[in-house]
Structure 1
Amino acid sequence: MGLFDLFSDDRPALVAEAFGHVQRMLDTGNHMFAAATAFALENEILDVELHELDEEINECEQDLRRAVLEHLTFDPKSEMVFSLKLVSIVHEAERIGDLAKSIVKAGKLSHRPRMGPQVEPLRDMRDRVLVMFEHARDGFVDEEAEAARELMSMHEKMKDDVTTYLQDLADDDGLTANEGIVLALIARLLSRVSSHLSNIASAVVSPFDQIRRAPTWESP
């Protein structure tokens, strides 16, 4: 049963509030991620205040948690599963802002601009994660279950690609220790953002007890 299949009649006010908060968190996280990776992988100037944007995400999470608590206090039997899934989703979305800041910190560790053949795979991974943001938004806000499932499949491939990439880094004798550490950190952070987006999708389309599990269907 999907997240929105829980309602057969009119949806409660909590659902409408959830749409706005989760959409804002995903859009802000997307903006932070794009800016952070442009700095770390394209050597662009960081021209956004990541800490301020992260505070906006944190405020959305707090507001939505309060709304869920208030809702369950007055009507604990109504939409219990939805409320539990919603708390899981906002936790995943909140982590993305922190990871964007960590990507910038990883880039700042570098002794020189991030360039060369080992950076190109990271740029490709970054572009794929940006597509995953779109799927996460479509899956939750527009209730497109197929977009959510596609996101989860993309993450499974991302995990495999990051593992292969890290092995390639370890085998590359032409990299300095600094380059290897910085690139490996960025790869892991990209994978973590991918993971949190996949978990959001999982909460949309999976039963509550199976959230965060790998998809069992075959990709088209």
Structure 2
Amino acid sequence: MPLDDRLALLAEGRKNAVFTTSLGIEDQVLTAALARAAPGVRIVTLETGRLFDETVALIAETEAKYGISIERFRPDEKKLADYVQRFGMNGFYDSIEARKACCGVRKLEPLARALDGADLWITGLRRGQSANRSDVAFAEFDAERGLLKANPLADWDIDTVSAYVEAEGVPVNPLHARGYPSIGCEPCTRAIKPGEDERAGRWWWENDQKRECGLHVAGAAGQSQIPVQP
């Protein structure tokens, strides 16, 4: 099923559909398609305060390109100050506890506000991004948040994504061309080495091969897959 049709079908009848974008290449593809096929879907981003300058600049460029407004959700100032007082500005390097706490303040809590009242959450997750995401479903019920979570690019590989970008003239983060296939906060992202997973540059100092920030992690009982025809 073409991407536009997938998105239109997902958004049909939804009262508060939300797409969360990190401005990565997959999310830029979805933004371009949503602007055309499902303009009623809210597009939001988590402006963590530690993003690359290139990522921040791309927000405005994307808004101008598609005539859209991308909602920014930022960390709670008091919670952020409490984190810095306890762990330090860059304490996430010191322990997994500190790193997860930083992600909690800068990403998870703002995400909760972004998805408050939503009945559909669209993401740019793909199975090819890492071994940890190899079984990503097209759609699943997120019981923790009480909504349908859809991953319309689940079956796309990076070549398909890149071909779409080229064909449609989609603006992308210049960091991709410098070896950053997955881009998060600047202190926590490095370019990958040949042969590494696309997300190997995220929190590279940790040994856990299944490391995630927590945005797309839930207990086995928290999500149930829903069969969807691609």
* TM-score, normalised relative to structure 1: 0.26
Rg larger in structure: 1
Higher helix share goes to which structure? Answer: 1
Higher strand share goes to which structure? Answer: 2
